[in-house]
Amino acid sequence: MDQVLYSVVQFPNGGTAIVLQSWLRDNTLLWPPKKIPLAKALQQRMEPDSTWITYSDVRQLITCQTYEEARRGEHKYNTPMCATAEIESEEEKEEREKRKTKPNPLYMDSDSDEPSGEVKKPRVLRPPNVRVPESWSQLARNELPITNEEDFNEAEALLKTEAVRQKMIARLAMVGGTSSTCRIRRMLAAALTNGLACKFSWAGKAYKHSEAKLPFRDTSLQDCMFVASRQCDRKLTQQTFSDIVKNWLRYAPWRAGGLKKN
């Protein structure tokens, strides 16, 4: 029986996972679909087919012969202040061993017998080249916070792409906050202006004496915010998240200067 190798990989958003070596194609990872749990795919050593999800720009950290060894490697990577040499790949380890310390010419005696000349800098392994789609670059530079419905619909179309969705989740997770409530409000303020937020409510109900509200709960942006919030607070529920968003949207007209707060 051929030897099965396991790899610890890192996604562009910083997350890690243990996969089979056969699932990797250079910097591309084939991931089991939602109907197949990762544990089952690893246990049965499944091979990818056309239904599997493709993730690009995935970095391979280490390769191990057993699953337990891969778990220990992933734990060391996610542990703060761990030694880099303990988790580096074979290629990185070999590259590090090739490096040689050379004296800095700025601090060498001019009368030294050492031959003069340019001292080559030690070669350092370059980090993986994470390619960002042009659509994501435009979204990150020009469209946040989103100011109108046209730009919002364009952003929703871009977020249908998995790579763009992961980038948005990673960016929203970096907003930070002292609590889940503060963090979610900061995400909303970073993504939407108060003028655009006035056009939304959580369920999108219509009112008799005012314009109909668009449903925010059905948007891809709302889904990205919830996933980013869960990365910082695993105990956060959908109900708690929706209540915070409802209150923030409810007082958007007041923040925009159009209504008085009761």
pLDDT digits (tens, 9 = 90+) for 191-200: 999 889 988 9
pTM of the model: 0.46
CA 158 to mean position of chain CA atoms: 16
**β-bridge partners, 25:** 28
Q: pLDDT: is 20 or 210 the higher one?
A: 20
| Eight-state DSSP code of residue 146 | B
The burial class, CB within 10 Å (0-12 / 13-18 / 19+), for 35 is exposed
In this prediction, residue 138 carries a pLDDT of 47
pLDDT digits (tens, 9 = 90+) for 143-199: 678 888 888 999 899 998 888 889 889 888 888 788 889 999 999 998 999 889 988
Q: How confident is the model at residue 243 (pLDDT cuts 50, 70, 90)?
A: very high
Please, what is the Cα angle at 244 between 186 and 215, to 5 degrees?
95
pLDDT digits (tens, 9 = 90+) for 29-52: 899 988 888 888 888 889 998 899
DSSP 157-218: HHTTSHHHHHHHHHHHHTS--SSHHHHHHHHHHHHB-HHHHTTEESS----TTSPPPEESTT
φ/ψ of 106, rounded to 5, equals -70, -25
Spatial distance between the Cα atoms of 94 and 234, rounded to a whole number of angstroms: 38
DSSP 174-189: TS--SSHHHHHHHHHH
Spatial distance between the Cα atoms of 106 and 110, rounded to a whole number of angstroms: 9
